[in-house]
Amino acid sequence: MPTETDDVRVWLVERGYNNRDLIVLKYATPEGDRLLRRELASQAVDVDTVTAAKDVSPDDLERVDESDLQERYADEASRMAAEHDPEDTI
């Protein structure tokens, strides 16, 4: 079982909606090379659900292979880290 020290911090880099009326949240590592994607029903989102950052298991992350996306996610993760504490609600 992983310990907290095994977790990876990811920062919110994108929020949108899909055609199933779900909120899509994307959290990326500071390097932008790994991504956590979460889909939430809009009714399930409460005030504390969406935070600036999350600490997650590396097993929950997927690779980002496109260099343009990596750069964009890294820039946004850096901006979020500079402007917010991890537990800030966004």
Number of domains in the chain: 1
**Could you tell me the pLDDT band of residue 2, with boundaries at 50, 70 and 90?**
very low
More confident residue, 21 or 36: 36
Instruction: Kindly state the tokens that stand for 51.
Output: 């935070």
**Assigned domain for 41 exists:** yes
pLDDT at 49: 74
* 81 C-beta neighbours (distance < 10 Å), count: 15
Q: Which domain holds residue 11?
A: 4-83
CB 29 within 8 A of CB 8: yes
Q: What is the mean pLDDT of residues 26-44?
A: 91
In 3D space, the residue among 46, 36, 27 whose CA is nearest the CA of residue 86 turns out to be 27
Report the distance separating Cα 9 and Cα 68, nearest Å: 21
**Assigned domain for 51 exists:** yes
pLDDT at 5: 64
